[in-house]
Amino acid sequence: MLVSNEIIKESGVQFGTSGARGLVMQFTANVCAAFSHAFIGCIQTEFSFKQVAIAIDNRPSSPAMAQACAKAVQQLGLEVIYYGVVPTPALAYVSMQDNIPCIMVTGSHIPFDRNGLKFYRPDGEISKADEQAILNATAEFEAITDLPELTVNNKAAVQYVDRYTSLFDSQMLAGKRIGIYEHSSAGRDLYAPMFEALGAEVIALERSDEFVPIDTEAVSEADKQKAKRWSKEYNLDFIFSTDGDGDRPLVADENGDWLRGDILGLLCADAMNIEALAVPVSCNTAIESCERFNHVTRTKIGSPYVIAEFDELSKKYQSVAGFEANGGFLLGSDASVNGKEIKALPTRDAVLPALMLLAAAKENPIYELVNALPPRYTHSDRIQNFATEKSLVILAKAKEDASQFLQQLQFDDSNVEQINITDGLRITFVNGNVIHFRPSGNAPELRCYAESSTAECVIYLVNHALENIQLINN
């Protein structure tokens, strides 16, 4: 017999900001089974269920990982419902309605040589405490020697599309030309029918047979140019895309300019008349300065931290939501749209913010909605293949003397007004500029976020910081 915590520890797979992540070679059948046994064992003390749902993204490694998870579920005498390739929020939503747990096989936006597992209890995404319980569990199981065949059930896809099309008039998007940047997104077969059901003319763009690691927080220059080109070539009113597992949106306005995820989240929350928000510390400060919300709580980066705040906010406010700088929108309470109820979905979702933005843009163009916000610009980028241990050493020294750190990075202005160590190191300059360093929780990367009053300055801050971080590290 194998023991789950021993197998997991030997694998080197770790929990990141959202889910367990690692190299594909680390996710052997027994490692996937160990996580599955540990997860189910941990929640069986709180919930009663006879089924477990499983779904995947389009990574080449995902089907076999799903089979291994399914085998573990079967070893426990439980039934597997396999939804195939669907967005993570689609799996989470249908499972919450059915009051059963689920496992999503996805590495989200990280490169295809990596993958991951996301776990959902019957009442939603697992917490950081649940993650520790899974890592420490001593579930015993037999080694996986064969993988079961899985038959796709389309219920999750159908219910996810209906969740959103049922909120709006079937002609809400009539006259709109919407481009869907499909690449390898897990939801690429759902989005065109969804937008078409609301009256839009849809143009499919750049579907890929190979996995494309789209990072909605660090949009590549190539993707920026593509959007502008597509917008002109096809006369588009809107471009919609997501990351690999469909829980982070990437949307472009009438000019083909991609919106920052936190600006999209702000506009969505405003359109839904949300009272109270929980957002990570890295999000744009326009959220507070626009004065459209009764309360804003700042958290560590990662959906579990945002979700953890919902319980507190719900004690004081009727409508609660959150979003991240990557654009993923989390609906923390039931809400009303067009007089129709939409159920809470406390996990990242890409579709709701896109549709709420389009609904808000019925009267004014998207770019005008953005321009009406306080002029605070954010930008982010990352150094890839940068060891987490290396990042932690650099930031530990920087926290001791932020001004000296800025001088090392050759910033002309090293006057520090405030530092925030909620998650990484966030430095606010006396002139109002902000620069924020944080090791990624999902991959060996050092992320840099910045905020300023001009688009040119914020790009300079990030580029200058990352260039000089590499110089002082060599």
Residues that are catalytic: 108
CB neighbours of residue 275 within 10 Å: 17
CB neighbours of residue 460 within 10 Å: 15
SS3 content of the chain, % helix, strand, coil (to 5): 35, 25, 35
Residue carrying structure tokens 């021993």: 6
Rounded Cα–Cα distance for residues 335 and 339 (Å): 9
In the numeric block, which tokens belong to residue 279? Answer: 């957002």
SS3 340: strand
Rounded Cα–Cα distance for residues 173 and 195 (Å): 8
Rounded Cα–Cα distance for residues 37 and 426 (Å): 39
Evaluate whether 174 touches 35 at the Cβ level (below 8 Å).
no
Give the H or E element holding residue 207. strand 201-207
Evaluate whether 209 touches 240 at the Cβ level (below 8 Å).
no
How many residues appear in the chain? 474
DSSP-derived secondary structure letter, 258: B
Residue 85: phi, psi to the nearest 5?
-85, 105
Sign of the Cα pseudo-torsion (350, 352, 355, 356, in order): negative
In the numeric block, which tokens belong to residue 286? Answer: 């326009």
Rounded Cα–Cα distance for residues 336 and 443 (Å): 37
Residue 128: is it exposed, middle or buried by C-beta count within 10 angstroms (0-12/13-18/19+)?
Answer: middle
Torsion of CA 318, 323, 328, 331, to 10 degrees: -10
Rounded Cα–Cα distance for residues 388 and 397 (Å): 15
